[in-house]
Amino acid sequence: MPIGYRITQDIDLPLPTAIWVLGAHLYALLVPLVLVTATTHHWAELKILTAYPMLFYVAAGVMMAGSAFEIAQNTIDRWYLTPATGSANGTGFCDLLFYTCIVASQALVAIACMGDRMWITLPAVVITVLFPWFYMRQALQFVPMSVLGLLATIAAYMQLGAPVIFLQLLLVPLTLYFFTGLLRTGNQVLHGFTTVAASSGVLFLVQGIHASAVGTPQGWSGVIAAVVITVFAAIALRSWIYALPPTSRRKRK
């Protein structure tokens, strides 16, 4: 007698770990909606402060598409990441689409903020178009992402004037911190932390939009304090995190 499809057939994680990891990816999928809400709420101010605020909506949609492709690649990898899986070594088709969407979303944010300046628009478009070439050659594919992330952050700060926007850059090393721990230990709980760190940058952009729109941009002291606390916490927890045991694969029936 045929048995109906079970989601667990495609997930090699224990149930509690699976709930955490999939929940983190649901968060990553939906968190760009905060940018949609902020853009709608502060539309009048953004029309004055930024060049093409409509592109914030497009950027949010592209971010969500990227998360969908990441979920697809993780499903191909049965949600258990190792250095040999496409999600980890950057050799999967859906992984390519995921990173391309992330790069494109950063370009869209930069152009939304300062697209009326060619020194912003030209590199944003060129880097986005060339990124798949870097990915497929497995050559410096993280350089275009880093350059566009920095470009988008600078453009947003120049137009919005909120230092909190720079905390997006803090999440890059934090993502690598958890991702390295995941691959070294095989502890799949770190996959969830990697995902949350990688996808939360949009919250700082939204906070910058709100602060600028209402005329209360926070100072640098809070940003510096957040960086210092995060760095010290990461150093203090490093030996414990890198000593975590590998997650046992769920037995397939």
Reported as a single tens digit per residue, the pLDDT across 189-220 is 999 999 999 999 999 999 999 999 888 777 89
Domain extents in the chain: 22-241
In this structure, of 42-51, 79-88, 150-159, the range with the lowest mean pLDDT score is 79-88
Residue 253's pLDDT is what? 59
The structure's pTM equals 0.92
SS (H, E, C) 45-97: HHHHHCCCCHHHHHHHHHHHHHHHHHHHHHHHCCCCCCCCCHHHHCCCHHHHH
Give 154's pLDDT tier (boundaries 50, 70, 90): very high
% of the chain with per-residue pLDDT over 90: 80
Q: Mean of the pLDDT values across residues 107-111?
A: 97
Mean residue pLDDT of the chain comes to 92
- Residue 1 scores a pLDDT above 50: no
- Residue 60 scores a pLDDT above 70: yes
For residue 194, what are the CA distances in angstroms to 44, 98, 151, 163?
35, 15, 23, 24
Q: Mean of the pLDDT values across residues 169-197?
A: 95
